[in-house]
Amino acid sequence: MTRLRLAVQSKGRLSEGGMDLLKKCGLRFAYGRDRLHQRAENLPVDLMLVRDDDIPSFVASGACDYGIVGENVLLEKQKGGGKPADLEIALRLGFAKCTLKLAAPKEGEIRSIADLEGKTIATSYPDLTRDYLAERGITVDVVEMSGSVEVAPRLKIADAICDLVSSGATLEANGLEAFETVLVSEAVLIRRKGEGDAEIEAIADILKRRSEGVIASAQTKYILLNAPTDRLEAIKALLPGADAPTVASVAGRDDVVAVHAVCRERVFWETLEALKAEGARAILVLPIEKMLS
Ligand code: ATP
Ligand code: ZN
């Protein structure tokens, strides 16, 4: 029977989120994480656990059908040409969000990309960096490093760096300051362009639809509250991303109604405080485990 071969990072930032997503999609695996190859017990899916940098070429060559990889790695490999150029994003997965940024010593004179002309930049993303600057008419020397890029300016290996940033703490700790965003990235599901095998695509469709449900429900909440009847419209207007809340009567009360709503945007404390200020009471925010629409 046909099985879909899916490449996932064996360990690291994409591995956690990737395995978590697959488990929420209902896939069950018999073995621990240390196996190179894992077979899902309840869907025709086989995992190949590899380094993230190898995932685009494994999918491009046909060794795997699909892969979960950072968009940053995908784009870097695609710029290198060859087979990865034939890959496409099947679904954006909403985790491992990070940005690729240009940064330079805080005390130095590099403040914008115009100051980079003729300078040396250390990065693990040489093609993305060079192309981004070339498109803006700036020529630089690129030093490729596979890790610890943030130490390059201190070691006088480079004048500036182009590196992944999430919180900015690593830059800060190394006396660096970001001044330009080259790319905003997240984990993506990739495949070869073109029609593909019908059976594989049918399995992929199940995975994609379930993933969409998992991603949507991650930020979606179910809100329950009691609202004074005369404040109902104001309270409905405050519910973030709610389509059509259910309004039900409360036994023995005609001044209060119960409101139930699926909110498709993040629910902040500020929102709850605003609801309370409008007279809402007994406010409950519940997570939604699964959604299928
Ligand atoms: P491997 O051993 O598989 O080559 P790695 O060291 O290249 O692992 P990780 O550090 O695990 O990779 O990062 C994998 C991916 O996670 C990156 O390519 C990027 O898409 C994303 N990522 C990297 N840094 C961050 C971050 N600080 N916050 C969120 N996501 C990140
Ligand atoms: Zn890597």
Residue 233: give its domain's CATH number.
3.30.70.120
50 Cβ closer than 6 Å to some ligand 1 atom: no
> Structurally, how many domains does the chain consist of?
3
Ligand 1 centroid from CA 14, angstroms: 6
- How much is the mean pLDDT over the chain? 94
Task: Give pLDDT, residue 290.
Answer: 83
- Residue 242: what residue type? A
167 pLDDT higher than 70: yes
What angle, 0 to 180 degrees and rounded to 10, lies between the N-to-C axes of helices 198-219 and 13-24? 100
Q: Do 201 and 120 fall within a single domain?
A: no
Same domain, 168 and 44: no
Work out which ligand 1 atom sits closest to the CA atom of 167: 27
Q: How many Å separate Cα 37 from the centre of its chain?
A: 24
Nearest ligand to the C-alpha of residue 187?
1
Instruction: Report whether pLDDT(31) > 80.
Output: no
Instruction: Check residue 243 and give its pLDDT.
Output: 80
For ligand 1, pick from 50, 58, 71, 98 the residue to mutate: most ligand atoms within 8 Å of CB. Answer: 98
pLDDT at res. 291:
80
Q: Domain for residue 42, yes or no? A: yes
Mean pLDDT in residue range 39-62:
96
Query: What's the CA angle centered on 34, arms 72 and 99, to 5 degrees?
Result: 15
| Full domain range(s) for residue 61 | 4-94+187-217
pLDDT of residue 34: 65
- Domain assignment present for residue 293? The answer is no
DSSP secondary structure string for all residues of 233-248: HHHHHHSTTBSS-EEE
DSSP state of 226: E
Alpha-carbon distance of 104 to 158, in angstroms, equals 9
Task: Tell me the per-residue pLDDT of 98-136, one tens digit each, with 9 for 90 and over.
Answer: 999 999 999 999 999 999 999 999 999 999 999 999 999
> What is the Cα–Cα distance from 216 to 208, expressed in whole angstroms?
12
Give the Cα separation of 99 and 102 in Å (integer): 10
Q: Is 236 in contact with 245 (CB distance < 8 Å)?
A: yes
Residue 245 predicted with pLDDT over 70 = yes
* Residue 51 Cβ < 6 Å to ligand 1: yes
Is residue 240 very low, low, confident or very high in pLDDT (cuts 50, 70, 90)?
Answer: confident
Please provide residue 291's backbone torsions phi and psi, each rounded to the nearest 5 degrees.
-140, 140
Domain-located, residue 161: yes
Say what percent of the chain tops pLDDT 90: 86
Phi/psi at 270 (5° precision) = -60, -40
